[in-house]
Structure 1
């Protein structure tokens, strides 16, 4: 029986190192536990908390804060691509993701031409395309045009992956696009997430539902398999300021012209979700 090697990319610099232990144990219990799968963890951190081991590979990375640690993640991954090439599949997950149910081989993009996997954003999976917060600046490399008849989805930046070569190709393209934007003094509205969505737009990818990434405190129409931990709830001393100042909403969710209570409720829900997803 051939062993399938799966790499898990994980960034826990600065205050985010507190999530590592909980993430690791949840992944060991629930993620790809099949006998023919061998998981390896590739961790970027400035903490000694994550001990090295046969399946735990640690790379020193100073915390640069947000958004640098988010938008530079593709550069991080490419910096260890020689190590990653020993893996059959590679996945990235945000630091505060936690597995709570079995997540098996259904996340492997077998039979998908792109070789890639994306998770629908929990804040927008029931939204119309006019509400999706794509980058709308036509000068940005993350720009998404309005293509008539096209099926639109908005993917979260906190959980994606796929076949190693295909994932690294995505990382290279996104990294180059981010650099090109920077030369033109452009930063995409939702950073790496915007560039991932632009890359996925015309690709045949495996689409996972928000069951694979849903905020722990919000009511869901399903039972989540992966939850997004409330950072302030679990580690308030580290994240209390962030808890008090959640992300501003993209313009489609701002109240204007008296849209009323429904939009107001949506705004509150999305702001809570953004608070969870802010890396």
Structure 2
């Protein structure tokens, strides 16, 4: 598919002309923000993340990295390209990895409202355990952007691992859901991502008030948001590949890849 049922483009290799897009975005002087969370043991991923981003992410454009961390000393001092900057933001490192991942929505929302709304035009929110393997440019930019999870590309909606308890603010019925979106990558126009993160944070707080958490935490709330607030652009699994999900035959270019890891150890 290259077009969603609501006529949003689905970005695959070969569906766009990057030269034309670059010219358009350069004329507008677009500024791009990138957020990443480096909490507890996830510090082992950050150097590779940043170095690969400098090679492949938004080459030739203005980029501001916003690195949230509980250990400022863990963030490497890497050489940045022209027009690119990096800011380290100190945050609390929670004991439960679920609390860490869910608090992202609140922290991104607050960062946008306090200052980033005046610093960047678009913001991309990524997990730290990702590595850029191929070029990712302005073809990913849009008002609200979601990424199709590689493990559910060809699955029916009944196979999607949505939150199915109707008491949860992340609830999606069995017969609803357009795609299953990964929580490791979302983005869009900065004011739109403020609305997204605020909505997801509020949903988490609703569930917390009745002492429940959605099945896949922030990813579940993100999927619920996208069901009723459709993304204006979708990215194919080229942009969130995982070697133990999906068919590599379908996805020929793997631009952003999950680094192999022992999940139990890094989340401990």
Q: Give the shorter-chain TM-score range.
A: 0.7 to 0.9
Distance in 2 between the 1:49 and 1:56 partners? 14
Structure-2 residue corresponding to 1:4: 30
Corresponding residue for residue 156 of structure 1? 182
Counterpart among 98, 101, 106 of residue 67 in structure 1: 98
Shift of 1:204: 3.3
2:108·2:197 contact (CA, 8 Å) conserved in 1? yes
* Alignment match of 1:50 (pick from 49, 54, 75): 75
RMSD: 2.1
The alpha-carbon deviation at position 62 of structure 1 amounts to 2.6
CA distance in 1, matches of 2:243, 2:58: 21
TM-score normalised by L of structure 1: 0.76
The equivalent of 2:149 in structure 1 is: 121
Aligned length: 229
Higher relative contact order (CA 8 A, sep 6+): 2
2:174 is aligned with 1:174? no
Matched, 1:143 2:171: yes
Q: Does 2:242 align with 1:211?
A: no
| 2:256 alignment counterpart | 226
Superimposed CA distance per residue, residues 37-89 of structure 1 (whole angstroms, 9 cap, x where no aligned partner) = 21111111122132579711111123213111011111111232222212100
Partner of 2:62: 38
Q: TM-score if structure 2 supplies the norm length?
A: 0.79
Does residue 84 of structure 1 match 2:108?
no
Structure 2 unaligned blocks of 5 or more? 1-26
Aligned to 2:215: 189
Deviations 1:95-118 (A, max 9, x none): 111110111111011xxxxx1111
Q: Residues of 2 paired with 1:202 and 1:108: CA distance?
A: 20
Q: Separation in 2 of the partners of 1:166 and 1:39?
A: 18
Conservation of the 8 A alpha-carbon contact between 1:142 and 1:177: yes
